[in-house]
Structure 1
Amino acid sequence: MKGRESGASLKDRVRTAWEDLPPVGPRQQPPSFRTLEEKHGLPSGIFSRVISGKTATLTQRNAERMAQALNVPLSWLLTGETEAPAPRSRSPEAARNLAIEWARWEQIDERAIQMVQVMPLYPYSPRAWLCMIELCQANLRLGQGPQQPPDIGTPGA
């Protein structure tokens, strides 16, 4: 996963850590950025600014609070040089729903999202599902219909 690779950016590490938070609520999604910001005394909108790349560094205080909110070591959050936290598992449906939420946030064509919603629930990560949505969007732009998703393997195999 991109946020776990050596040399990953702060935005990749934050997004990876957020994706791995235990799902909550009826939609089984990670806690909202707003909830984390309020609960941990972080400035409003800081998660969105970091993940979008608008903010590339954090103050020490905000870094400490963000690491606590994301339940990751501060040193990993800041540098990525220590061992990455182990990914937490989520259901295939929750992973796909999270990817759909990201796709809508990124204003991806709704037809591409609908194409993915009718696919079987493969055990993909949220990031893999988002790539699938982007592939469907690319196919739509080329005038092609949906295609069988590539076999990217089974997690943990």
Structure 2
Amino acid sequence: MAKDRAAAGTPATAALSAAGIPFTTRPYEHDPSAPSYGLEAAEALGVEPDRVFKTLLADTELGLVVGVVPVTGMLDLKALAAAVGAKRATMADPAVAERRTGYVVGGISPIGQKTRHRTVVDETAQLFETVFVSGGKRGFDIELSPAALIEATGAEYAAIAR
């Protein structure tokens, strides 16, 4: 997988390029009426949905935490809280998520966020050679290895999907 410097148009691609982390951009035609951004991406890109991961922000007493889980499942808030040593977690307000990440809902990337947050990637990412995450806008994903995702975000793996 070659680094795609030509599309360094989002904070996510700029961060990956600056860090020398290999990735491939995967744009697709976004349908604003799609009921699920992640499942739409999987279908548009022609990949198994289990390889496409969504980025969600949760609020804990320790601050905001990013959970990255397959689009086929849901974020287990209890498991995410346990993974970061918090007592509990609730979904962050979408306006707060947008303000703190610098991305819009449906296009929040775990990479290149305005404020860096502790990040946990569901352990199932390790089952694949590459995974897909939002590239920082709707209709734009990034394909990279799970190890590259961990490197780019400083994340850890845990079982946080249900």
Relative to the length of structure 2, the TM-score reads 0.23
Q: Rg bigger for which structure?
A: 1
Q: Greater relative contact order: 1 or 2 (C-alpha under 8 angstroms, separation 6 or more)?
A: 2
Choose between structure 1 and 2: higher helix proportion: 1
Relative to the length of structure 1, the TM-score reads 0.23
